Amino acid sequence: MILNSAFLQNAAGAFSWATVALFLQRAIVQGIPLLYGSTGEILTEKSGNLNLGIPGIMYIGGISGVIGAFLYENSLPSRDAINPALAILIPMLCSVLGSLLAGLLYCFLTVSLRANQNVTGLALTTFGVGFGNFFGASLVKLTGSEVPSVALSATSAFFKKSLPFAGKLGNFGTVFFSYGFMTYMAIIIAVVAAFVLKKTRTGLHLRAVGENPATADAAGINVNRYKYVFTCLGSVIAGFGGLYYVMDYACGVWSNEGFGDRGWLAIALVIFCIWRSNWGILGSILFGGLYIVYLFVPGSLSTQELYKMLPYVVTLIVLIITSARKKRENLPPASLGLSYFREDR
């Protein structure tokens, strides 16, 4: 953990607005990777694909960005020669490329070759997590460079750059303005995704594909195209979650297994916000808070482990309640997890 837990432990006893502001800020920082992951997965699931490869794709998105940034930083004569635009664009493009290829692979197998989605997704997660950890640990050796480890502090500095006046606004500045650009990007993407899903024709068609592909097909919607486009788009967005994690949260230092189970937590968030990415913004902050609440409440190490269970328990409760109430708009897309065979009818 990057955060200064000793300080937080001390702060936990006494209530102060500064502690609340700090808690909120840490919760948001924790929540952003989940928000990227869940927004991506919502778009994917709305097309009827239950992509359990999202945890792997987030690793791939992260490590692809790291590889890009690593190669760029090492090609420079000195750290000072780094170009801000390139330092941000290269990792982002690499991340997009990595996650896009992973998404395409998933689509090719499940949509074109009609393979089982659960099996394909889990295989992709195995592959992706392995890919991330392998290159994270072996990058230095494979490229034969002289640096001791992958620490992209120069690149990370550009990702973390917050608005200049953030520090002058006290607690308000801490909560709202102390983040790098990818935080705001995540929120914008989530809002746009919610708008597209709810208000546009494209979103209507996409939902139709996820609910009942045969009907959508009969209405002249190109089912496969929608599945491909939105699953790949979802992968790219989820991949940004991995990139945000290494470049912003972890200050450009790749550590194996550092990303942990956040990918699965992102899938939990999809259920928690009942397939609405705008609700996912608040949900991600709540999940982020639940993820770190153990640092702020007094208690032994063992009870802290129980606090870490909270996000999953809360998700289970939401899953049960929505399925019991059976309100159409709160249920998972009806054809979620099923491949569409047009010739099957």
Partner 1 sequence: MADNNKPVMTENESGKKVHEPLFHITKKAAIPWQKAWAVRIGSVVAALIVCALVTMLLVHKDPIKIYGTMLSGAFGTSRRIWNLLQGIAMLLCVSLAVTPAFKMRFWNIGGEGQVLIGGLATAACMILLGDKIPNALLIVVMLISSLAAGAIWGLIPAVFKAKWNTNETLFTLMMNYVATQLVAYFVNVWEVPKGSGKIGIINQATRAGWLPVIGKYDYLLNIIVVFVLTFVLYAYLKYSKHGYEIAVVGESENTARYIGINVKKVILRTMILSGAVCGLTGFLLVGSTNHTVTTTIAGGRGFTAIMVSWLAKFNPIFMILTSALLVILEKGAGEIATVYGLNKSFSDILTGIILFFIIGSEFFINYTINFRKAHKEGK
Residue 283 in the binding site for partner 1 (CB under 8 A): no
Tokens standing for residue 108: 């090719």
Place of tokens 């989530």: 190
Site string for partner 1, 80-119 (x = CB under 8 A): -------------------------x--xx--xxxxx-xx
Smallest distance, Å, CB 168 to partner 1?
41
Q: Pick the binder of partner 1 from 143, 225, 255, 282 (CB under 8 A).
A: 225
Site for partner 1 in 318-337 (CB under 8 A): 319-320, 323-324, 326, 332, 336-337
Q: Binding partner 1 by CB under 8 A: which of 18, 219, 313, 334? A: 313
Tell how far CA 68 is from the center of its chain. Answer: 19
d(CA 19, CA 26): 10
Coil vs helix vs strand at 258: coil
Is 215 a residue that touches partner 1 (CB under 8 A)? no
Q: Nearest 5°: phi and psi at 332?
A: -60, 155
Binding-site size for partner 1 (CB under 8 A) equals 66
Contact 262, 57 (CB under 8 A): no
Residues numbered 38 to 57 that lie near partner 1 (CB under 8 A) are 50, 52
Tell whether residue 33 is a contact of partner 1 (CB under 8 A).
Answer: no
What values do phi and psi take at 266, rounded to 5? Answer: -65, -40
305 makes contact with partner 1 (CB under 8 A): yes
Our finding on whether 66 is near partner 1 (CB under 8 A) is no
Task: State the minimum distance, in angstroms, from the CB of residue 324 to partner 1.
Answer: 5
Measured in degrees and rounded to the nearest 5, phi and psi for residue 238 equal -60, -40
Q: CB neighbours of 97 closer than 8 A, spacing ≥ 6?
A: 64
Q: In whole angstroms, what is the distance from residue 29 CA to residue 331 CA?
A: 29
Report DSSP state, residue 53: T
Using CB under 8 A as the criterion, which residues of the chain lie in contact with partner 1 when the complex forms? 50, 52, 105, 108-109, 112-116, 118-120, 122-134, 136-138, 141-142, 222-225, 228, 256, 261, 264, 267-268, 271, 300-303, 305-306, 308-309, 312-313, 315-316, 319-320, 323-324, 326, 332, 336-337, 341-344
